[in-house]
Structure 1
Amino acid sequence: MRSTFETRLVTLLNKLEAAPLCGNADAAFALFHAAWLATNEAHKSPPALLAHWRSQRLCSEHGWQDLHTQAAHLSFAESPNIRVYLHADGGIVIQRMAPACGSILCAKLGQARMELAAVPEFVR
């Protein structure tokens, strides 16, 4: 039985939560890509979907938008109301977009931001 997008999304969120922090957008993409591909493999997604995700790169031709800003983003074809943001500092945010308000499903800080957050404010 094929798993639903929502089931795979929960697996992805758990993988991202357990993963180490990233230092830049390229590392964040590598983490997201590997985690999403592994999730789809574990859930026995159709071969065409696996082939699609294996070929994905961080580029506009593959659906990524705003690549030259602080946060590039991609909406999933299977569920366009779910958007992945990859921040220049390595942060990853996954948000459910809704007409009235969106909800953040995952907010993984980038490595530099996490290190800054660990410094007491009076020192900054």
Structure 2
Amino acid sequence: MKKQRPVNLDLSTISLPAAAKASILHRVTGVAMFFALVFVIWAWAYSLQSQASFDYVQTLMTSHLAKFIAWGTITLLIYHLLGGIRHLVMDMGHWEELKSGTLSANIVMGLWLVLAVLAGVWLWF
């Protein structure tokens, strides 16, 4: 029995709408935050052990790698928060139409980029 169904294995030809990209990105940032919080919880717990451990974490957080991890964690949190608010508003019955859903997705992604840049400026300067 031969099934006649379309097969599209070229992923570069698939174009997702902005609302789908925003929804997928919300899920991805949630999973990434779960793993990023390992570093946050470690730094928090270790810094509370003694004054010397606090000073060590404080010195460690001045490195470029630590600042990059902190910036990444902050940007994940920002997008997940913005995307979550968007989903909550949609759950209340707003922005469910194609035009308003696309607009809200584009606004969330644009606002996320602006806030990510501002978070980077705040961390590095």
TM-score by length of 2: 0.28
Q: Give the structure with the larger strand fraction.
A: 1
TM-score when normalising by structure 1: 0.28
Q: Tell me which structure has the larger Cα radius of gyration.
A: 2
- Which structure's residues are more often helix, by fraction? 2
